[in-house]
Amino acid sequence: MKNETFDLQEKLQALLKAQRDISPQGKVANYIPALAEINPNLMGVSVATIDGKVFGAGDDKVPFSIQSISKVFGLVMAMNRVGDKLWERVNMEPSGQPFNSIIQLEWEKGIPRNPVINAGALLIADVLTSHFSSSKLAFLSFMRTLSDDKNVYIDKHIYQSELSHGNRNAALAYLMKSFNNIQADVPEVLSHYFTQCSVSMSCQQLAQSLLFLANKGVDPRNNKVICSAKDAHRVNAILSTSGMYDQSGEFAFSVGLPAKSGVGGGLIAIVPNHGVICTWSPRLNRFGNSVVGVNLVAAIAEELGVSIYH
């Protein structure tokens, strides 16, 4: 990073204040009704570094619904379990479509474009459901291990809300099943997927939990191998090309970091060999990415002078 000694803590506070001072833009997701109950003005940011520092500002310790950020963790679990066979069932190309689009899936015979759109994450949910005796517990336990916090929890209210408004995800899963690309029963796959989306975590917890992706697969806090260096590279590549959905090109163009958003308003960005940035602000742009999150990650990356394309 540009200047090791400058005060990142103060800088984060100033950057967050600058976002608070501009009039709010974007809309809180309401297609999952429980997500719309959140206070839209909450805003947090955390930066964790591989040398053990954690900086934060605003609501950085308040848990929120991680939603699609869970797709990163599910992908790592599935890669660890089934290895390269995974890539026979899911592709690694950007979709250029909204995260919950179904159109491409029919043309492409039930093979999702990538593991971080909804179709791809449902495919991953099928892999996990089929390879763990209790995939939901395995997922929660993975999150608790990575965050080093046994209080990380599944928000049952969000889960129920998703379950009763999940028709589009059900359609994606049944379409893949019709192409024989889903093995387990669809309700079981959906239940796993909604469970992982309903995990609640704070910016501080998420930033620290993802440090292994900034450190070639090894958690720098305890030297535990979370995934291979090759798989960490692959996840970062997918996040760079697809993690911000059909805003991924613009995000690469203007920021240049592997990133993943969630409709709960969270956003994570990996700074390889340095650390992880996590922001949270529930108002979303038309791509389903947090408006403030995109602004803040861009400002922090510029401040630190980091981009994978430098």
Which listed residue (46, 65, 68, 200) is catalytic? 68
Quote the least distance from Cβ 303 to ligand DON, whole Å.
Answer: 25
Residue from 58, 217, 288, 293 that binds ligand DON (CB under 6 A)? 288
Q: Catalytic residue at 68? A: yes
Look at residue 98 and give its three-state secondary structure. coil
CB of 115 to ligand DON, least distance (A): 13
Q: Nearest distance from residue 66's CB to ligand DON, in Å?
A: 8
User: What CA–CA distance (Å, rounded) separates 220 from 208?
Assistant: 10
- How many angstroms separate the Cα of 310 from the Cα of each of 1, 241, 285? 12, 17, 27
Does residue 193 have an active-site annotation?
A: yes
Looking only at residues 2 through 61 of this chain, which bind ligand DON when binding is defined by CB under 6 A?
A: none
CA distance 211 to 231: 14
Q: Is the dihedral of CA 61, 259, 169, 33 positive or negative?
A: positive
Contact pattern from residue 187 through residue 216 relative to ligand DON, giving x for each residue in contact according to CB under 6 A and a dash for the rest: ----------x-------------------
Q: Which of 49, 67, 161, 200 binds ligand DON (CB under 6 A)?
A: 67
* Exposed/middle/buried for residue 42 (C-beta within 10 Å: 0-12, 13-18, 19+): middle
Phi, psi of 44 (to 5 degrees): -145, 160
199-201 vs 224-225, strand pairing mode: unpaired
Q: Is there binding between residue 247 and ligand DON (CB under 6 A)?
A: no
Q: Cβ closer to ligand DON: 99 or 142?
A: 99
Query: Residue 55 corresponds to which tokens in the numbers above?
Result: 């900086």
Q: 218 pairs with which residues across the strands?
A: 225
Part of the chain binding ligand DON (CB under 6 A), chosen from 123-131, 261-269, 275-283, 295-303: 261-269
Q: How far is CA 201 from CA 6, 7, 61, 133, 256, in A?
A: 28, 26, 8, 24, 25
The verdict on whether 71 is a catalytic residue reads yes
- The rounded distance, in Å, linking the Cα atoms of 162 and 194 is 6
68-87: which residues touch ligand DON (CB under 6 A)? Answer: 68
Q: Which of residues 143-172 bind ligand DON (CB under 6 A)?
A: 162, 169
Which listed residue (262, 275, 282, 293) binds ligand DON by CB under 6 A?
262
Point out the residue whose Cβ comes nearest to ligand DON: 68
Under rule CB under 6 A, which residues in 93-132 are in contact with ligand DON? 99-100, 118
Q: Can 245 be counted among the known catalytic residues?
A: yes
Torsion of CA 49, 213, 94, 241, to 10 degrees: 40
Tell me the site size for ligand DON, rule CB under 6 A.
Answer: 12
Q: Is 91 in the site for ligand DON (CB under 6 A)?
A: no
Active site residues: 68, 71, 193, 245, 263
Contacts to ligand DON by CB under 6 A:
67-68, 99-100, 118, 162, 169, 197, 261-263, 288
